[in-house]
């Protein structure tokens, strides 16, 4: 397939609480709409974040043609926003470029105009927590009970996700909502369009900031743990990370771009940044109220409602990984009751498990899973448990695994964190 010539930012408008984003790719046009409940885009701070979202959201359509030139038009772009955009282009689209074998080093960027600071009040004790219904965001919610919390839920135009809604309901917390209507017809306009992963969590984080400001909240609590910064593979000298949007680097870039528009009082940080997935799993294991409603299987979150699975599929990499990291903290029977199956005990998934723990022939899966060393630590711990003694492939893989860290080490803080002191008890 041939790459496009120019991708253009044609303008951002709003109707009520809905942002309307226009882009074009050579002769093709795209229009995305996002309704942010409670937003008032006549308020400068909210409009400023809408403009930042518009900048990054364009990559959802840029990917269709991987144009050699990007024209930002009249989009407001300060130095921090430009730095974020360039990183999202090259690193946020890293997996997309790798899978399509497209080198984006030749992309030129022109246009854009200066921005201005639009400070807003940021009450520090009131926070918004983007909520996906998985173990990470559940742990953030439970850990921040000393703050005034509101959940942020982004839904597609096709309808809300049932397991996410059920898990959110258990918390009893208020929910701030947004609805994203992708231009799916535009993305399907040509059979020659490229497809692939985009930095969607960056877009969600900025929308969460917008929603927080609209509801008078002082910060956004992300739930991205330490291993989300680990790359899947190195290609052409550049790290390729499926979870780039959740990485420590992306967190800082997003926070800087938001501060450029709002000032430094508003906080954007990940509560779990210095924690391992095993630490998260240990905390989650104690939150029994959500065990039978939470879901991390991607098949439950398809865009089209008819494609959504009604239960854990029990066979994808995500199901296998979540089963693995919870196994040291929950009994085997409890896990089987939650999942409706036993991914860890399924011999058909041995090769997938080997890849998760770094013993496969391929790279770490392009999924939101922990780094191989972390998975290997969990496997070694599980294989020692008597209740799993009848699963020979667990013992065989554990004997071959050689993690660099210990189980106890992964239950302590890892690396740096941007979490402010008032978020901590």
For every residue of 328-379, DSSP letters joined together read TTS-HHHHHHHHSS-GGG-GGGHHHHHHHTT-SSSPSPSSS---HHHHHHHH
pLDDT on residue 124: 87
Task: Kindly list the domain boundaries of the chain, sorted by start residue.
Answer: 6-120+175-270, 277-411
Q: Using a cut of 0.85, tell me whether the model's pTM lies above it.
A: yes
pLDDT on residue 309: 83
For residue 319, give the nearest of 281, 369, 244 by alpha carbon.
369
Q: Which residues contact 74 (CB under 8 A, 6 or more apart)?
A: 9, 11, 111, 112, 113
pLDDT tens figures, 351-381: 999 999 999 877 889 999 999 999 999 999 9
pLDDT on residue 263: 92
pLDDT tens figures, 304-330: 888 888 889 999 999 999 999 999 999
pLDDT on residue 392: 95
pLDDT on residue 43: 96
pLDDT on residue 305: 84
Helix 200-214 and helix 248-262, axial crossing angle in degrees, nearest 10: 40
Read out DSSP for 261-326? Answer: HH-SSSEEEETTTT--HHHHHHHHHT-GGGTTT----GGG--SSGGG--SS--SSSHHHHHHHHHH
For residue 54, give the nearest of 1, 87, 18 by alpha carbon.
18
- What does the alpha-carbon distance between residue 163 and residue 52 come to, in Å, rounded to a whole number? 30
Listed as ranges, residues in the chain with pLDDT below 70 are 1
pLDDT on residue 293: 93
- What does the alpha-carbon distance between residue 424 and residue 421 come to, in Å, rounded to a whole number? 5
pLDDT tens figures, 262-301: 998 999 999 999 999 999 999 999 999 999 999 988 887 8
pLDDT on residue 425: 74
pLDDT on residue 307: 80
């Amino acid at each position: 397939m041939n790459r496009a010539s120019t991708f253009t930012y044609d303008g951002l408008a709003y109707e009520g609480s809905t942002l309307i984003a226009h882009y074009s790719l050579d002769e093709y046009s795209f229009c995305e709409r996002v309704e942010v409940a409670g937003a008032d885009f006549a308020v400068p701070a909210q409009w400023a974040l809408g403009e930042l979202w518009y900048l990054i959201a364009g990559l959802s359509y840029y990917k269709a043609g991987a144009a050699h030139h990007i024209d930002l038009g009249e989009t407001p772009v300060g130095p921090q926003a430009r730095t974020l955009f360039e990183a999202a282009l090259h690193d946020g689209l890293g997996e997309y470029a790798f899978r399509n074998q497209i080198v984006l080093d030749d992309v030129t960027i022109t246009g854009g105009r200066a921005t201005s600071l639009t400070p807003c009040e940021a009450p520090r004790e009131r926070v918004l927590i983007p909520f996906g219904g998985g173990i990470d965001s559940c742990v953030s919610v439970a850990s921040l009970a000393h703050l005034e919390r509101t959940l942020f839920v982004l839904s597609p135009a096709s309808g809300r996700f049932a397991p996410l809604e059920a898990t959110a309901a258990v918390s009893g917390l208020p929910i701030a909502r947004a609805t994203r209507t992708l231009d799916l017809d535009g993305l399907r306009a040509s059979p020659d369009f490229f497809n692939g992963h985009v930095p969607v969590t960056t877009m969600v984080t900025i929308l969460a900031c917008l929603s927080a400001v609209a509801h008078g909240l002082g910060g956004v609590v992300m739930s991205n743990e330490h291993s989300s910064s680990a790359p899947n593979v190195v290609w052409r000298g550049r790290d390729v990370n499926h979870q780039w949007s959740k990485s420590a680097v992306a967190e800082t870039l997003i926070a800087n771009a938001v501060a450029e528009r709002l000032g430094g009082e508003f906080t954007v940080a990940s509560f779990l940044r210095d924690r391992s997935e095993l630490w998260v799993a240990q905390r989650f294991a104690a939150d029994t109220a959500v065990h039978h409603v939470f879901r991390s299987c991607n098949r439950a979150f398809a865009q089209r409602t008819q494609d959504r699975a009604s239960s854990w599929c029990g066979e994808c990499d995500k199901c296998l990984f979540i089963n693995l990291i919870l196994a040291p903290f929950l009994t085997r029977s409890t896990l089987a009751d939650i999942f409706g199956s036993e991914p860890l005990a399924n011999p058909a998934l041995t090769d997938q498990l080997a890849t998760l723990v770094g013993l496969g022939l391929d790279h770490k899966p392009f999924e939101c899973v922990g780094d191989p060393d972390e998975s290997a630590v969990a496997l070694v711990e599980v294989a020692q448990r008597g209740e799993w003694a009848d699963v020979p492939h667990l013992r065989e893989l554990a004997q071959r695994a050689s993690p660099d860290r210990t189980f106890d080490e992964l239950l302590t803080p890892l690396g740096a964190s941007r979490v402010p002191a008032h978020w901590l008890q």
